[in-house]
Every structure is written in structure tokens, then in C-alpha cells.
Amino acid sequence: MPSRARPESPLESFSCTSERHSASGQVARKTAKTDRPRPDAHVWYADGDIVIIAQETVFRVHKSVVARHSKALECMFQPISWGGQADLTNTFDGLPTVRVTDTAYDFKHFLLVVYDGFPRDKDPHTVVDFGVFAAWLRIGHRYRVPSFVIEGLRGFRSIFPMDLDTWDKHRFDGKFLHPRVVFDNTNAIEAVNAIRLAGKVHLLPGALYMCAQLRPSTLLAGTTRADGTPEKLGAADLLLCFEMKERLRKAEARIAVQWAAQDHVESRCKNFGDHCDRTRHELLKEACRNIHNNLRGDPLHGGVITRLHEVDDGWQLCSHCHDAMTWEVRGLRRALWNKLPVYAGVEADIRNWGKSTQGY
């Protein structure tokens, strides 16, 4: 069993000034002599035989344990003279070093799973932060580790499902609330970038919808990852978000007008139409009273359509009219949901939109 222990003299022996290429083809950042890489407090095995450096963090691990998960990493662990990236000259504690271009946060969450397994396997109730799912997805994609891609996507699917029922199940007033997944709406920017990187376009409609709900100032300035890495949308995705917002605003207004224009009286109405029809118009008036707020381009939460969905709250409708109206509103929301791949520009690339998929 590998043993974890703090190093005795970790810093003095390290100096790396060379420039190398990572598995992804990116150029590794040149490390200045003043950089002081620090051993990670958790991923440091005293009997490890290689040192991996990500940003300013150093991980001491076992080549054979890590390489078992990824052929790409196995190749990187070969000495430079053999075509790999293990530097036998600039050692750390006498061990060969490999510098990766990933963030320390991402690589640490990869290594933690390499040694300890996925949290869900040990305890199905473990709460996982979105940033960890994103790290698994990025690392899994870069080093071609299918299990990490699958687990990362499992978390993403919980947040950005393909079906409206799952979307509704974990949202309250536009906020994502899940017993085992922590996600803030501003994480949607990082999500879009990770989804683009991994090429999982079926997650884009939901992620772009969430981005479209952020303030333009937030979209333009970007956000930061859990480890402080800045995240911004690319110009094309930024434009897509603004266009999507515009289309959502228009769709919301169009649907409200369509709903109002239907002079529909439920044939089985217990009040013979009269009272229920009046209530229906009152309901629409109420939804339109604060039109600025209710037509804010967020028709799935809190807009006119959702207000109409709140028909339960004290509105005096007979049970038949109530059921008919609930179905009607549900149909309007579903029709809008079905349009999201079009708004996200990926309708040609997605099959089975609307189908329930298993998340976290």
C-alpha cells in the first residue's frame, strides 16, 4: 500500500527552466527560477517514484499506478531521451519530474480519484462541487481516460439534462438545487467551455440557456474557476448567448399572446365556462401586470409562462378547467424546451433531445 508523507527537503533541489510540450500539444509555461513549487498536502507518497508539477504544486506519485489509467500519461513518464517528458536532470528530491499544463486543481482531483476512487463509489450521498466534475471532464478528455469523462459527464447531465422533467426536478426559481451536486449559475460559463472542449454538444442548450440568464457584464467579464483560473466565453459563444436571450424574450411574449388569444372554454367546465373564463383572463392580466419582470427572457423560470403555471395558488377554477390549463401551460413550456437546441445552434448535432438521461 503506498504511503503518504511530507517530503523532507522538497524545494532546494528543484529548478526547471526548459520549455516542453504537453500531451495536448500546448506549450508548457516557462518556470522562472523564483517559482517555488510546493508539495501537495494530500497527494504526496513517500515511496512514489515520479514527481508531477502542475502550476506551483508538486505531486509525488507512483508511475505504475497513474500510468495504468492513461496511455498518454504512461508515454509522458518516459525519459525525454526516449521521447517522453520525464526530466532526469532537473529533479525534485532526486526524482524525475514531469510538468503538465493542467491546473493544480484539475490534476489533484484526477490523482485523488486514481488513488481513492470516485467519491460516489464509496458513498452515494457524497456532495460534489461542479468544479470537480469539470476537472474530471477536462483531464479525462486530455489524457483519454474514459472513466473520468463518463463521471464528469454524469455531473454535467444532472445540471444540463436533455429533458424538461429532470431540468424542473432540480430547479427552484431559476436556482439549481440538487442534494449531491453544487452548482452556481455563474459556473455556466466554465461549463460551456468544458463542453466545447469535450465536444459534448447535447449539453450545450442547457448550459447556454443558463449563460443567457447571466448579466451581460458578467458574461463579458467572465468568471473564475474554483482554483481562481479565469474563464470567459469565446466570441462566438458570447454572441450565441445574446442572440439566445433575444429569441427567448420573443418566444416568451409570443407564447403569452397565443395563450391569451385562445378563446377556449373547457367543455366539461363545472361553472359552464362563465366564471372560469373570467378567471383565466384575470390570471393572464396578473401575469402581465409586471410585464418587464415577467418577460425577462427566462421563460422556464418566473416568466409569463411560469406565472400561468402557478395556477394552483388560490385561483378559483373548477377542477376540469384547472387540469386543462395546467396541461396547456405544460405543453407551452415543452414546446419552448424543444426549441432550445435550435437556439443553441446545435439542432443538427443532437439526437434524442427530450429524452431522459441518467445524471448524478
What the block records as the C-alpha cell of 95 is 526524482
8-state DSSP, 36: -
Candidates 22-30, 129-137, 187-195, 266-274; binding stretch for Zn ion (CB under 5 A): 266-274
Q: What's the min distance (Å) between Cβ of 275 and Zn ion?
A: 7
Chain mean position to CA 160: 7
Q: What's the min distance (Å) between Cβ of 306 and Zn ion?
A: 22
Q: Between 315 and 353, whose beta carbon lies closer to Zn ion?
A: 315
Candidates 109-117, 141-149, 193-201, 273-281; binding stretch for Zn ion (CB under 5 A): 273-281
**Strand, coil or helix: what is 201?**
helix
Q: What's the min distance (Å) between Cβ of 265 and Zn ion?
A: 8
Determine, following the binding rule CB under 5 A, whether residue 332 of this chain makes contact with Zn ion: no
Determine, following the binding rule CB under 5 A, whether residue 164 of this chain makes contact with Zn ion: no
Determine, following the binding rule CB under 5 A, whether residue 321 of this chain makes contact with Zn ion: yes
Candidates 61-69, 103-111, 199-207, 265-273; binding stretch for Zn ion (CB under 5 A): 265-273
CA–CA separation, 107 vs 71, rounded Å?
16
User: DSSP secondary structure string, 85-121?
Assistant: -BEEEEEETTEEEEEESS-HHHHHHHHHHHHH--HHH
Which positions from 115 through 144 interact with Zn ion, judged by CB under 5 A? none
Please report the sign of the dihedral spanned by the C-alpha atoms of residue 12, residue 13, residue 17, residue 22: negative
Size of the site for Zn ion (CB under 5 A): 5
Candidates 136-144, 192-200, 263-271, 326-334; binding stretch for Zn ion (CB under 5 A): 263-271
What the block records as the C-alpha cell of 137 is 471532464
Among 113, 256, 276, 300, the residue binding Zn ion under the rule CB under 5 A is 276
Which positions from 23 through 62 interact with Zn ion, judged by CB under 5 A? none
Q: What's the min distance (Å) between Cβ of 259 and Zn ion?
A: 16
CA–CA separation, 197 vs 120, rounded Å?
25
Candidates 35-43, 62-70, 137-145, 276-284; binding stretch for Zn ion (CB under 5 A): 276-284
Please state at what angle helix 188-198 crosses helix 146-159, rounded to 10 degrees: 140
User: DSSP secondary structure string, 287-310?
Assistant: HHHTHHHHTSS-TTTTSHHHHHHT
Among 100, 210, 251, 318, the residue binding Zn ion under the rule CB under 5 A is 318
Chain mean position to CA 44: 29
Q: Between 194 and 318, whose beta carbon lies closer to Zn ion?
A: 318
Q: Between 269 and 283, whose beta carbon lies closer to Zn ion?
A: 269
Contacts 24+ apart (CB under 8 A), 6-10: 6/39, 6/41, 6/44, 7/39, 7/44, 7/46, 7/60, 7/93, 8/93, 9/93, 10/37, 10/38, 10/39, 10/58, 10/92, 10/93
Q: Between 68 and 285, whose beta carbon lies closer to Zn ion?
A: 285
Choose among 349, 346, 130, 162: nearest CA to 240: 346
Q: What's the min distance (Å) between Cβ of 274 and Zn ion?
A: 9
Q: Between 253 and 325, whose beta carbon lies closer to Zn ion?
A: 325
Determine, following the binding rule CB under 5 A, whether residue 269 of this chain makes contact with Zn ion: yes
Q: Between 224 and 319, whose beta carbon lies closer to Zn ion?
A: 319
Q: Which residues bind Zn ion (CB under 5 A)?
A: 269, 271, 276, 318, 321
